[in-house]
Amino acid sequence: MKGWSIFAHSVGMVTRNLSEAMRVALVPVLIGFALIAALIMTSGLSMDTMTNEAAMEQMFQEDGAGAFFLTFALSILVFFITELWIFVSWHRFILLEEYPNGWVPEFRFDRILAYAGRGIMIGVIVMLLWIPAMLLTFLLGPLAIIGVLGTVLFMVVLIYRLVAILPAAAIGRPLTIGQAWEATRGSSGTILVLMVVIFLAQILLQIVSGLSMMVFPPLGIAFQLFAALVMSLVNVSILTTFYGHYVEGREIG
């Protein structure tokens, strides 16, 4: 099944290039965490404060909710910029063989901005289609559950047929929505199988993480962080494989 082949190939991309994966992702992740920690510390927040309802209420009364939400918004922005930095670097490494030079991958602002713009474009398209689709679904009455499931599956297929524009933006070879849709013609079945495989892989990782936390919590935390980083790169590799196979015509080895 091609869906399984794409997943296995994407996992292989990461495991075969684990050293390069660490060079692409490790330092940006550390920088992102450091910046978020600095934002939280300068805002006066702490883990004790965030888990103490009375302390949170007092902070809101003294400083207002605006300070908290500004910190939260800036932290989310830092998180997404860090993610896009990693994604763009990984796409370029796989598709252009642009090897990381040292431990800090080049921060390509133009490609990151293009990547973010394409991502927002896909999000807008999905929302514009999702709202009328759900309204139509609820008119089905007793068949609403089937309609919701069908809508979700359609959206999953739609998103994956459009995401080829993301790796294209990362490597500087712009692809239109129409070109991406045409290039991925006939891939719906593959996408659905791929989604099932990803879902099962996530469940397996959660089970292993839970067991490791029960046996030795520090090891469990380390495993969860490592697994999250690897799965993030695997998901980006899936987009890379999708683009390479359907747009560039590469074989799935």
DSSP track, 13-59: HHHHTHHHHHHHHHHHHHHHHHHHHHHHHHTT--HHHHT-HHHHHHH
Cβ(86)–Cβ(170) below 8 Å = no
Q: How much of the chain, in percent, has pLDDT values that exceed 90?
A: 31
pLDDT > 80? residue 128? yes
pTM: 0.84
Cβ(160)–Cβ(142) below 8 Å = no
pLDDT > 90? residue 149? no
Name the pLDDT band for 227 (thresholds 50, 70, 90). Answer: confident
Report the b/e string of 57-68 with b at 16+ CB within 10 A.
eebeeeeeeeeb
Segment 101-115, tens digit of pLDDT: 888 899 999 999 999
pLDDT > 70? residue 60? no
- Cα separation, 63 vs 82, in Å, equals 29
pLDDT > 80? residue 81? yes
Nearest CA-CA partner of 187 in 208, 156, 144: 156
Query: Tell me, what DSSP letter sits at residue 143?
Result: G
